[in-house]
């Protein structure tokens, strides 16, 4: 039996609204049959374009074709918080340990953390292209996982809810780790609002966020900057580096298109608690009029600084303020029923220049406009259920939740640590020309193996891949233009108690005398590290395992300890 080809058009990335629909019965059943019988399927009409694939392969090839000394700084193992991220050199890895090292090079993009150093130079645009391809694959994977759940008659969220952190850096609930009460920070007692606040760890007070709150439409000018025309936005962060001017201007005009997030709701919350007497807009306007370089706005716990090159910087100075705002945000978010998912795009550099943008899920689309700018998306997955009533003021609701979400993310960012909590990896593979006389006995381009996670998306530009059938023999996999090969990986087989099968596959050497290269892009989807994988039929066929522990074990089997 060959690999089935299934039309995924009904769930294509081009269709934005589709996640609310039940997958069609025939799509579910075709997918199910492929994953039960073969473990592999070709999906057509996914919405991922050939152009996107070509771009990702092209920039990868430019990276691989460089001399090794230029690639070495990016070696896998060099990234402290992301051990699987980086370059894997030729013959380093034996996916079948009984064979000599695979004749391939790879680059694993496992972390989108803004502090990760990416290849540049010859591979100009590498980070942006890999990141945007990663995010496209992520979106498609989530759709596939949804259809897979449906095909098994399971709750459509069963797989999705264990894949919430693909491509997100860790945002651990650091507050929970910190002891009760007390302000261990600099700042006068008047900064501390309320009682029994949980204090935040020390990273917070060093973390400078440039927040600018504008209540009315205003024009700001500063000595070294052009005019900025800002609409009322909460969470708009002004970049301090003059080289980013145009970026700020573009940003503000985009926010205008998306609609504005007014802070009125925040203000009323603040007032109700007696913590602030003024709308923030006024505070900011006051700041702008003043000539001094620094203020402490004790009534809302923020300090504001102003310098020649920075419009304004607002520093979160007190842990109680941080937790206060977090709580406000959470209350606001939970008090409003909202149907829209919210997407926040954040650009953060280590010197804490940031631009926030809050929008509804169409922002996901807008995300692609940011490819070249190093934006980091934070998508708030947990959208609030319920629908707008007829009489609801949609904009007001959206503003409230957007504001809350925005703040929450800013605050989380300010205390986040830098590890990742989902092992999903976009792996770019390059198989150089092979001199078959020099190849070692039994050596392959990629030895027999099955993948480790939930599913794998594979894009290939040339033949060579083989998949093992149930009967034991290997069959050649064709390349079908525009189609994506998707396979079940080991954790998914466990999860489905062997209903879906994860099968061995390999990449052969080209025939003698054929000096062609091969490239592929494999998107290995993993559940979140903390997700406990138990058989979804309720059986005990496999003991529960956390996805993170399972992945570590599999990687260490492949690469050896360390």
Ligand X SMILES: O=C(O)CCC(=O)C(=O)O
Residues of this chain that bind ligand X (CB under 6 A): 427, 429, 446, 451, 458, 460, 465, 505, 507, 520, 522
* Token pair listed for 396: 């007001």
Name the residue nearer to ligand X (CB basis): 384 or 427: 427
* DSSP bridge pairs for 505: 449, 467
Give which of Fe ion, ligand X, none residue 446 binds (C-beta under 5 to 8 Å, depending on kind): ligand X
- Check: CB of residue 301 under 8 Å from CB of residue 193: yes
Place of tokens 């925005």: 406
Give the phi and the psi of residue 450 in degrees, each rounded to 5.
-115, 160
Place of tokens 């000599």: 100
- Min. distance of Cβ 520 from ligand X in angstroms? 3
Name the residue nearer to Fe ion (CB basis): 413 or 429: 429
- Min. distance of Cβ 89 from ligand X in angstroms? 15
The closest alpha carbon to 13, from 127, 148, 142, belongs to 142
Name the residue nearer to ligand X (CB basis): 94 or 460: 460
Displacement of CA 140 from its chain's centroid (Å) = 13
Name the residue nearer to Fe ion (CB basis): 420 or 451: 451
Q: Report the C-alpha gap between 92 and 100 in whole angstroms.
A: 9
Kindly state whether residue 251 participates in binding Fe ion, applying the rule CB under 5 A.
no
3-state DSSP of 307-343: CCCCCCEEEECCHHHHHHHHHHHHHHHHHCCCCCCEE
Give the phi and the psi of residue 366 in degrees, each rounded to 5.
-60, -25
The closest alpha carbon to 19, from 136, 141, 143, belongs to 143
Give the contact letters, 405-444, x = binds to Fe ion (CB under 5 A), - = no.
Answer: ----------------------------------------
Give which of ligand X, Fe ion, none residue 507 binds (C-beta under 5 to 8 Å, depending on kind): ligand X
Stretch binding Fe ion (CB under 5 A), from 252-260, 377-385, 446-454, 554-562: 446-454
- Min. distance of Cβ 139 from Fe ion in angstroms? 21
Give which of Fe ion, ligand X, none residue 234 binds (C-beta under 5 to 8 Å, depending on kind): none
- Min. distance of Cβ 216 from Fe ion in angstroms? 57
- Min. distance of Cβ 536 from Fe ion in angstroms? 23
Give which of ligand X, Fe ion, none residue 458 binds (C-beta under 5 to 8 Å, depending on kind): ligand X
The closest alpha carbon to 431, from 439, 419, 423, belongs to 439
Give which of Fe ion, ligand X, none residue 150 binds (C-beta under 5 to 8 Å, depending on kind): none
Helix (H) or strand (E) holding 532: strand 532-533
Name the residue nearer to Fe ion (CB basis): 357 or 451: 451
* Token pair listed for 449: 């193996």
- Min. distance of Cβ 89 from Fe ion in angstroms? 18
Give which of ligand X, Fe ion, none residue 460 binds (C-beta under 5 to 8 Å, depending on kind): ligand X
Residue from 30, 191, 451, 528 binding Fe ion (CB under 5 A): 451
294-297 sheet: strands from edge to edge: 208-209, 313-316, 302-305, 294-297
Name the residue nearer to Fe ion (CB basis): 451 or 529: 451
- Check: CB of residue 297 under 8 Å from CB of residue 208: no
SS3 159: helix
- Min. distance of Cβ 524 from ligand X in angstroms? 7
- Min. distance of Cβ 487 from ligand X in angstroms? 8
Site residues, Fe ion (CB under 5 A): 451
């Amino acid at each position: 039996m060959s690999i089935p080809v299934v039309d995924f058009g009904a769930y294509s990335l081009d269709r934005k609204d589709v996640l609310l629909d039940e997958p069609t019965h025939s799509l579910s059943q075709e997918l199910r049959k492929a994953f039960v019988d073969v473990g592999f399927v070709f999906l057509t009409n996914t919405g991922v374009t050939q152009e996107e694939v070509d771009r990702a392969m092209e920039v990868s090839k430019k990276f691989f074709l460089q001399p090794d000394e230029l690639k070495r700084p990016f070696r896998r193992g060099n990234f402290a918080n992301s051990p699987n991220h980086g370059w894997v050199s030729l013959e380093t890895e034996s996916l079948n340990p009984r064979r000599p090292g695979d004749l391939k090079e790879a680059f694993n993009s496992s972390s989108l953390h803004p502090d990760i150093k990416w290849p540049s130079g010859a591979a100009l645009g590498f980070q942006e292209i890999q990141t945007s391809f990663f995010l496209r694959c992520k979106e498609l994977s989530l759709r596939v996982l949804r259809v897979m759940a449906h095909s098994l008659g399971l709750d459509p969220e069963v797989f999705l809810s264990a894949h919430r952190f693909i491509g997100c850096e860790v945002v651990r609930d650091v507050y929970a780790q910190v002891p009760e009460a007390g302000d261990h920070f600099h700042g006068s007692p008047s900064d501390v609002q309320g009682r029994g606040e949980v204090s935040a760890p020390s990273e917070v007070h060093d973390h400078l966020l440039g927040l600018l709150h504008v209540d009315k439409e205003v024009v700001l000018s500063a000595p070294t900057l052009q005019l900025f025309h800002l609409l009322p936005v909460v969470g708009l962060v002004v970049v301090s580096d003059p080289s980013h001017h145009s970026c700020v201007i573009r940003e503000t005009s985009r926010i205008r298109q998306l609609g504005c997030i007014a802070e009125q709701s925040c203000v009323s919350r603040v007032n109700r608690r007696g913590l602030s007497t003024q709308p923030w807009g006024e505070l900011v306007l006051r700041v702008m009029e003043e000539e001094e370089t620094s203020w402490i706005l004790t009534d809302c716990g923020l300090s504001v600084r102003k310098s020649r090159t920075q419009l304004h910087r607002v520093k979160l100075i007190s842990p109680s303020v941080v937790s206060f705002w977090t709580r406000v945000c959470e209350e606001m978010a939970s008090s409003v029923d909202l149907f829209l998912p919210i997407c926040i795009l954040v650009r953060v550099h280590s010197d804490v220049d940031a631009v926030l943008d809050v929008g509804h899920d169409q922002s996901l689309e807008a995300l692609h406009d940011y490819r070249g700018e190093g934006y980091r998306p934070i998508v708030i997955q947990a959208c609030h259920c319920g629908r707008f009533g007829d009489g609801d003021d949609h904009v007001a609701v959206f503003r409230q939740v957007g504001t809350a979400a925005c703040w929450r993310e800013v605050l989380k960012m300010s205390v986040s640590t830098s590890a990742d909590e989902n092992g999903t990896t976009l792996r770019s593979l390059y198989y150089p020309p092979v001199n078959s006389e020099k190849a070692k006995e039994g050596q392959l381009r990629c030895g027999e193996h099955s993948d480790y996670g939930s599913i794998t998306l594979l894009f290939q530009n040339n033949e060579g891949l083989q998949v093992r059938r149930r009967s034991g023999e290997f069959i050649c996999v064709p390349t079908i233009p525009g189609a994506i090969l998707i396979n079940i990986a080991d954790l998914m087989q466990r999860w489905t108690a062997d209903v879906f099968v994860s099968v061995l596959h390999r990449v052969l050497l080209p025939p003698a005398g054929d000096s062609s290269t091969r490239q592929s892009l494999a998107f290995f989807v993993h559940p979140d590290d903390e997700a406990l994988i138990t058989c979804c039929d309720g059986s005990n066929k496999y003991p529960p395992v956390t996805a993170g522990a399972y992945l570590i074990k599999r990687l260490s089997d492949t690469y050896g300890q360390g």
